[in-house]
Each structure stands twice: as C-alpha cells, then as structure tokens.
Amino acid sequence: MTRPITILLVDDHDVVRRGLRAYFEALGEFEVVAEAENGDEAVRLAEMHIPDIVLMDLVMPGMNGVDATRGVKDVSPRTQIVVLTSYHDDEHIFPALQAGAISYVLKDFRMEEVAEAVRRAAVGEATLLPSVAARVIDELRSERRDATSPHARLTNREMDVLRLIAKGMSNAEIAENLVITQQTAKGHASNILSKLQLADRTQAAVYAWREAVVGRD
C-alpha cells in the first residue's frame, strides 16, 4: 500500500483549515498530520512532524507565511511548501518563492486543482498560475541580465588584452603577443577601462584575477 502524502495545514482561519482537512482526508491518499494558525506554530509543527507538504497561507498574525516558509525549510528541508493564498501580486509571489515555496496557488482554485498541486509538489514539481509563471520567467530573465558580468560586454580581442594586462604586460608586449600594433593595443586597453569603469591598468589586472578572467598558471 502506498504511503499517504502527509500535509501540515497553515491558515489563520479555522473554517479554511477544517474544509481543507475534510477534503484531503476524504480522498484517502493524503494524511493531515497537523494544523497551525500562524507561522510560529507552523515552524514548530513542521519540525515535529516533518510533513511531505505544508499548505501555507501568507497573511497571518504574528509570523507571516513568507517567514514561516523560510523557517519550515530550515527545520525540514525535505518538506515542500505549497502557498495557498488569495493574493497574486508580485509583492507576495516573489518573496514566497524566494523563501523556498515550490508552488503558488490561489484560494479560488477548484479543490481538485489544489490537490493536484499537492501531488505534484510531493514529487518535486511546481504548480504556478500561467500569469504567475510568466512573471517569474520575466523576473528571472531580468535577474540574469542584471547578474551578467561587466566583462561580458568586452569583445573577444578585448578579453585577450585584459588577460595579458593581468599578466603584467605592457602595450608593446601585448602588441607583440597578439601581432597587432601598439596603438591598437593601447586602444583596446582604453576600451576595457571604459567598459569596466576602471581607473587604470592595475585595477584592470585586479579585476581580471578577481573575476577569474585569467587562470593562475
């Protein structure tokens, strides 16, 4: 017999918790191991029961759902958090996902959709509203752009010059090494300082070593 998926219900409204418990227990494949009405209680009960899933409300008195999500993941890393809330704005979505929630579903979902989100979370699969998923993708793309290293703006030749600057070469030595004129080497060095917003070649060398642009031979 397959072990039931264990659930901790977290919501400050007793009627919501009772409704969820009745629905999940009627399905037979789930076991509600505990209920919490606030974040502090959720973390304590998660550590006690190590549930497969926490169905987490976000707005509660005391510790909110985002902090509780973080706390649950600290005491029970294997537990998956499914946020179940009425809020679908970025101010709630992103902090919850960043805190460790795997799924974000709304209270106006049909109960069978909530149950499916729990099933998916139990095997490590996320459930997000299409609109939420689109915003998450946009945010990740934005973060990736923001996180791009400044030297990604350098051309391949400028990267070659930066590596040689990091090795202490002068413009003349760089020109000889790359078979270019000293003037061209000087121009590349100037472009590098401008693009990386550095004051001089020493800063460029330090940058190259710090960012592992050049390996330590």
In a domain, 74, yes or no: yes
175 burial (CB, 10 Å; 0-12 / 13-18 / 19+) is buried
Q: Give the neighbor-by-neighbor strand order of the sheet with 53-56.
A: 30-36, 5-10, 53-56, 80-85, 103-106
pLDDT surpasses 60 at 152: yes
Same-domain check for residues 114 and 205: no
**Using CA atoms, how far apart are residues 162 and 213, in angstroms rounded to an integer?**
8
Same domain, residue pair 15 and 33: yes
Q: Provide mean pLDDT across the span 194-209.
A: 84
If one counts the domains in the chain, the total is: 2
Q: Which of 145, 168, 198 is the last residue of a domain?
A: 145
pLDDT tens digit string along 10-50? 999 999 999 999 999 999 999 999 999 999 999 999 999 99
Q: Is residue 147's pLDDT more than 70?
A: no
pLDDT at position 216: 46
Mean pLDDT of the chain: 87
Range of the domain at 27: 5-145
Mean pLDDT of 116-125: 92
Q: Are residues 50 and 107 in the same domain?
A: yes
- For 81-108, what is each residue's pLDDT tens digit? 999 998 877 778 888 888 888 889 988 8
